[in-house]
Amino acid sequence: MPDFPPSGGDAQAARDLLEFLSLQASDLFSIAIQPSQRLVLGIDPVGDADHAEILADQPVAWTAWRGDTILACFGIAEVFAGQHGVAWSLLAEGIGTSHLAITRFARRELDRCGLRRVELIARGCEGAEYGGPAALGYQRQCPTPEYRWAVALGFVPVHVLRHYGQADETCVLFERFPSSELAHLAGRKTGSHFSCEVSCG
């Protein structure tokens, strides 16, 4: 949790400031997750303490704070270190107008991650039983909030996964290939604390 001045105008400013701190495993158990994310693929997205520690130890792993409230936890779980990872996120209830700044920060971290390939699996729109390109077209016509956020983060939808996961859902596989020109910046725990008042742009 960030530290704040004890009182006065500075204290109010600190409470209003959006800050990005390195993810701590305990953050994953403290965030008031949006109802739509309390189960992901039919299971608890946080899992146990060991899984939380693994996520927190990844090179890209962040918590967004406003005051003493966690608004989001997000990162990349590396499947093959330095090469290939899977992006994940947990968003809190009441994220409100901070959503845009969080999106911009997360997209920047994806740009800087240094990985050759990053995947994301998002919940898709139910109702279509056909496959192939037509299935992706259907998803574009009725995008879920998760689909729209993946696109905002720079991901491209590549395949519809039907009857996927424990919950037997329709999901969409997205992929992204971070810019090789930015790979030297890496964003691999080069900092542990960023803050912004409005946009983080």
What pLDDT does 35 receive? 86
Q: Do 26 and 98 share a domain, yes or no?
A: yes
d(CA 106, CA 20): 10
Same domain, 122 and 170: yes
Q: Is 132 left (phi over 0), alpha (psi -120 to 50) or beta?
A: left
Q: Which range (46-50, 88-92, 132-136, 159-163) has the least confidence? A: 132-136
Confidence band, pLDDT 50/70/90 cuts, at residue 181: very low
- 84 and 45 assigned to the same domain: yes
Indicate if the pLDDT at residue 91 is higher than 60.
Answer: yes
CATH number, domain of 110, equals: 3.40.630
**What tokens does 197 get?**
């008042």
Query: 126 and 165 in one domain?
Result: yes
Residue 188, pLDDT above cutoff 70: no
Residue 104 pLDDT class (50, 70, 90 cuts): very high
The answer to whether residue 46 scores a pLDDT higher than 90 is no
Residues 79 and 62 in one domain: yes
Are residue 109 and residue 19 in the same domain, yes or no? yes
70 and 1 belong to one structural domain: yes
pLDDT, residue 94, reads 87
Asked if residue 87 and residue 140 are part of one domain, the reply reads no
- What global pTM score does this model have? 0.80
Both 13 and 101 in a single domain? yes
Q: 201 pLDDT exceeds 90?
A: no
Question: Do 21 and 99 lie in a common domain?
Answer: yes
Based on the domain organization, do 82 and 99 belong to the same domain?
Answer: yes
Domain span at 22 = 1-115+185-201
pLDDT at 151 over 50: yes
What gap in Å lies between CA 118 and CA 89, rounded to an integer? 13
121 and 47 within one domain: no
To 5 degrees, how large is the angle CA 58–CA 63–CA 69?
155
**How many structural domains compose the chain?**
2
For 20, the token pair is 């990005």
Task: Kindly tell me if the per-residue pLDDT of 115 is higher than 50.
Answer: yes
Structure tokens at 7: 């009182």
Under a CB-based contact definition with an 8 Å cutoff, are residues 110 and 178 in contact?
yes
pLDDT band at 199 (very low <50, low <70, confident <90, very high): very low
Q: What is the 3-state secondary structure (H, E, C) of 118-163?
A: EEEEEECCCCCCCCCHHHHHHHHHCCCHHHHHHHHCCCEEEEEEEE
Closest by CA to 66, choosing from 201, 200, 183, is 200
